[in-house]
Structure 1
Amino acid sequence: MLNPSQANLNLDAVLRDVDRAFPKLMATRLEAAVARAKSQEKRGAFDPVLSFDTEFLRYNSSSDPGKAKTTSMSDAVVEVLDRSGVKFSVGGRLNRGAVKSPASFTGSSGEYFVSAKIPLLRDRINNAKTVAEQQALLGEPIADQFIREAQLGLFEKAGAAYWELVGAKAKLDVATRLLKVATDRAEYIRERIAKGANPPIDQQEANAEVARRQGGLDKAERDVQKAEIKLGLYRWREDGSTIDVSRTQVNVSDLEGRPAVVDAQKARDTATQDRPELLALRLSQQVLGLELGLAQNDRKPGLDLVIGPGLDLGSDSIGNTMKAGVFYTIPLRQNSADGRINATKSKLQKLDLEYKQLERAVQIEVNDALSALAQTEKRVGAAVE
């Protein structure tokens, strides 16, 4: 029974090996896993948080110096930050005894409340945690494009190595047949000389042809060995071991046929739309767009509304409670925000230039491939005729 290295090999099997187990591609997939984990980490900023706090104080009374007073204060709160920037809280507190300012006394059953801190200008929608999550989410498809880029590059190299081996095997077959023809001819000349039908000089010429064909066969065998070694760079198992490619059998008949017909304009359009390098740059522009929006947000004044209705229960309670307020801050200088805005705009301009350069390079690559395909079509057509 043939082992995998000796079994008949085709291009699909080579590409499967690359896609399944090539170390560089596996490492790139791990980078994508890191990007997904980063998104999960940033999503954690919006996880609800439950906190407990309890205190006991014995202190010198400011209203009656020299007299010790005691108080106990406990509270439990669940807080959650919304992606719009609003922070919601729900909880309860129990403050008894000689409560020390700024805390306030509660009824015997405690006070229960809900509250919200609502940004009206700065940090509304565009806030650091929301933008960080959005950027991390964009990091996932960017990582996927890096996988595709690595995959396509490896497929191209592995495919070229496979066809190099197929071509080397075909040349070896031809060299083997040519040597046999030269050997048979030398034997035929020997018999003719023995019968006196040919001069002895013909034997020297025939032997020289055999030696030349033997040299061609030796070179063809070495070319096969080099092609096998080159192909071996791309054949891996999932456990990290390599697949032996010596004596690998390939289908030389795969060289038969004509090149596929390709729509030139469609090829150019597809490359522009789907090349992973270009897609990654477009996504990176979106990431910088989010960063620019956050920097522009930081130029705004801060205006936050806080509102928190509650209910005080038990003996000594007052029923409905309310906490409300407005917090307003005005940045007197804008150097930090302006610096980030200018830096981000420069980065966007740089990405735009890189995109144009890469787009042009992709178009040139496609045109070169189309030209090579057309020339191959002509050569194949001439050979067939």
Structure 2
Amino acid sequence: MYRSGTNCGVRSMASHRISTHPPLLPHPRPRPRSRCLNDQPTVKYLILILVLFAAPVAAQDLPAVLSEEDLLRLVAEHHPLAVRADLQRDRARAVLREARGGFDPKLYGDLSQKYFKGTRYYSLAEGGLKVPTWFGVELNAAYERNGGYYLNPENTVPDEGLFAAGLSVSLGQGLFFDQRRAELQRARIYQRATGAERLLQINELLYEAGSRYWEWAGAQGAVSVYTEAVELARARYAAVVSSAALGDRPAIDTLEARILVQNRLLGLESARLEAANAAAALNAFLWLDGVIPLELEASTRPPDPAAVVIAPLMPLSAGLTNPALTLTRLKLEDLEVDERLQLEQLKPRLDLKYNALISGSAVQPLENYSANDYKWGISFSQSLLLRKERGKLQLTRIKLSETQLELSDKIAQLNAKVEQAENEANVTVAQYALATRNVSDYSRLLAGERELFQAGESSLFLVNSREVAFIDASLKQLELMVKHRKAGLARNFAAGQTAPPLVGGVVPNE
């Protein structure tokens, strides 16, 4: 289960096979994990216990016949990228929490003293609380106590100290919108964007997994077709050999029958190679809890091709809901926040501060409050040319126009992809029906030719020709089945409706 790496202590390689007889038996398949885990024996034992006991629990839900829905549900719940996509929500919550931190109340304190040759020149002490609000007004409360022989007269306060309570507000730039409010809005947009990005990742993952599934199903069907052809060719070869031994057929027919068997075996080996490669590609999507890689058991099969539904696609229930469009629209919202913030930068800066003052010795502060005891201030600033601010605003508006054009282009492209996929899916329905009739007709021709051959009224060449036509028709039928199902996946992926019906509550609505 484990081997030592050259640069690291331990490299974990674990895999299991999907089956019900026996369910998910441990089967080694190298799959590189973490580059360096830990050389401690305890870690090895814990990983070994996880690998040995996690698989039988999951095997209860895996049938011997693996359907598309079962596969996609397994991928959506256990693939590492699907598990990683869940972390997007945690990241969005962290970003939103960080943005809300801009409105957290803040305690502050400041102490400054000077002593020289035994004389206290000054002692300045101040502490207080500042409370930002969503409306751009900052509330504050402070206590100040100063003293000293050379104290600056403007810092003189009563011996018991001085209380101050008031507010500061921007009457120009920042009154209706500022950097803190912009960051909070961006965080909320990002939270919605991470939900759309997560859904987009799952959609892409399920589309790829579904495509590999139907390629595997088609390859398995081709193996069945060639296996049946080999069995028939071998039976015919045995009959020809017996007839040639009795003198009923020329000996040269045995050579032709043997060549036929060999050609069928070549086709079977090629089909097995395609099936093995398709299974290997599908195995890349099979995981348990995003940690343990799984493998298809050799006995695991897709549904019988005759049971696969080949029918016109149902109309889209909600139109285009592709997460890529949602991300572009959210990008527009983010740029609109930037535009609003930069419009504020064009306004002059006018900040007003006011604090009511109350002596620290007051027993009842509200009763001792006087409107004549206060301190206030006002500050003003304004750029004369505003070139920097106007340049930023112009760039933002250019980006807005570009993003709007990008959104229009994406909508057009996705509509085209949806229409193309629907056309392909609907056309393959009629083609599949024709291919099914061809298979039936070729089967009847082949059966009649075999009867004539057994009666001595036909040749191996004609029987071989009928079999080749029947095999080609069967393979064409499988090809059309795969093409139709992949077209349905492509339509749903372009429309953005791959994940929700399969994942259910896993997809967040943020």
Q: Which interval holds the TM-score relative to the shorter structure?
A: 0.7 to 0.9
Within the candidate set 82, 95, 100, 1:38 is matched to 95
The more displaced of 189-198 and 368-377 is 189-198
| SS of 2:287 mapped into structure 1 | coil
Within the candidate set 196, 204, 207, 1:156 is matched to 207
**Is residue 332 of structure 1 aligned with residue 384 of structure 2?**
yes
- Which residue of structure 1 lines up, in the alignment, with residue 319 of structure 2? 270
The more displaced of 302-311 and 252-261 is 252-261
The more displaced of 70-79 and 217-226 is 70-79
- Which residue of structure 2 lines up, in the alignment, with residue 63 of structure 1? none
The 2-side partners of 1:291 and 1:222 are apart by 56
The 1-side partners of 2:191 and 2:87 are apart by 12
Shift of 1:257: 3.6
The 1-side partners of 2:157 and 2:148 are apart by 8
Q: How does 1:48-67 map to 2 (within 5 A)?
A: 48-58=105-115
The 1-side partners of 2:306 and 2:124 are apart by 85
Deviation per CA, 1:66-90: give whole Å up to 9, x if none: x956443322211121122211112
- Which residue of structure 2 lines up, in the alignment, with residue 77 of structure 1? 128
The 2-side partners of 1:21 and 1:336 are apart by 51
| SS of 1:123 mapped into structure 2 | coil
The more displaced of 160-169 and 6-15 is 6-15
Deviation per CA, 1:154-174: give whole Å up to 9, x if none: 111111111111111111112
| SS of 1:259 mapped into structure 2 | coil
Question: Given that residues 109 and 127 in structure 2 are in contact (C-alpha distance below 8 angstroms), is that contact kept between their aligned partners in structure 1?
Answer: yes
- Which residue of structure 2 lines up, in the alignment, with residue 380 of structure 1? 432
| SS of 1:173 mapped into structure 2 | helix
- Which residue of structure 1 lines up, in the alignment, with residue 164 of structure 2? 113
- Which residue of structure 2 lines up, in the alignment, with residue 288 of structure 1? 335
The 2-side partners of 1:101 and 1:188 are apart by 123
Question: Given that residues 5 and 244 in structure 1 are in contact (C-alpha distance below 8 angstroms), is that contact kept between their aligned partners in structure 2?
Answer: no
Question: Given that residues 81 and 88 in structure 1 are in contact (C-alpha distance below 8 angstroms), is that contact kept between their aligned partners in structure 2?
Answer: yes
Shift of 1:370: 0.2
- Which residue of structure 2 lines up, in the alignment, with residue 207 of structure 1? 258
The 1-side partners of 2:194 and 2:311 are apart by 32
The 2-side partners of 1:250 and 1:149 are apart by 29
- Which residue of structure 1 lines up, in the alignment, with residue 293 of structure 2? 242
Give the direction of change, closer, same or farther, for the CA distance of 1:254–1:39 in structure 2 (3 Å limit).
Answer: farther
Structure 2: which amino acid aligns with 1:41? E
Within the candidate set 275, 289, 300, 2:347 is matched to 300
Shift of 1:202: 2.6
| SS of 2:294 mapped into structure 1 | coil
Q: How does 1:135-214 map to 2 (within 5 A)?
A: 135-214=186-265
Question: Given that residues 172 and 351 in structure 2 are in contact (C-alpha distance below 8 angstroms), is that contact kept between their aligned partners in structure 1?
Answer: yes
Shift of 1:23: 3.8
The 1-side partners of 2:337 and 2:98 are apart by 18
Shift of 1:347: 0.8
Structure 2: which amino acid aligns with 1:3? L
- Which residue of structure 2 lines up, in the alignment, with residue 22 of structure 1? 79
Question: Given that residues 311 and 426 in structure 2 are in contact (C-alpha distance below 8 angstroms), is that contact kept between their aligned partners in structure 1?
Answer: no
| Number of equivalenced pairs | 374
The 1-side partners of 2:120 and 2:244 are apart by 132
Q: Give TM-score scaled by structure 2 length.
A: 0.67
Structure 1: which amino acid aligns with 2:91? V
The 1-side partners of 2:195 and 2:383 are apart by 40
Shift of 1:211: 1.3
Shift of 1:207: 1.7
Structure 1: which amino acid aligns with 2:23? L
The 2-side partners of 1:106 and 1:381 are apart by 99
Question: Given that residues 75 and 206 in structure 2 are in contact (C-alpha distance below 8 angstroms), is that contact kept between their aligned partners in structure 1?
Answer: yes
**Is residue 310 of structure 1 aligned with residue 349 of structure 2?**
no
Shift of 1:238: 3.2
The 2-side partners of 1:206 and 1:276 are apart by 58
The more displaced of 3-12 and 332-341 is 3-12
Structure 2: which amino acid aligns with 1:285? L
Structure 2: which amino acid aligns with 1:291? D
**Is residue 354 of structure 1 aligned with residue 401 of structure 2?**
no
Higher relative contact order (CA 8 A, sep 6+): 1
The 2-side partners of 1:92 and 1:191 are apart by 114
| SS of 1:368 mapped into structure 2 | helix
Question: Given that residues 258 and 380 in structure 1 are in contact (C-alpha distance below 8 angstroms), is that contact kept between their aligned partners in structure 2?
Answer: no
Question: Given that residues 131 and 290 in structure 1 are in contact (C-alpha distance below 8 angstroms), is that contact kept between their aligned partners in structure 2?
Answer: yes
Structure 2: which amino acid aligns with 1:236? W
**Is residue 3 of structure 1 aligned with residue 29 of structure 2?**
no
Shift of 1:35: 3.6
Question: Given that residues 117 and 307 in structure 1 are in contact (C-alpha distance below 8 angstroms), is that contact kept between their aligned partners in structure 2?
Answer: yes
The 1-side partners of 2:25 and 2:311 are apart by 30
Shift of 1:230: 0.9
| SS of 2:271 mapped into structure 1 | helix
Deviation per CA, 1:280-330: give whole Å up to 9, x if none: 000000000000111110000122222222321328x98533123332222
Shift of 1:54: 2.7
| SS of 1:270 mapped into structure 2 | coil
| SS of 1:242 mapped into structure 2 | strand
| SS of 1:56 mapped into structure 2 | strand
Shift of 1:25: 4.2
- Which residue of structure 2 lines up, in the alignment, with residue 218 of structure 1? 269
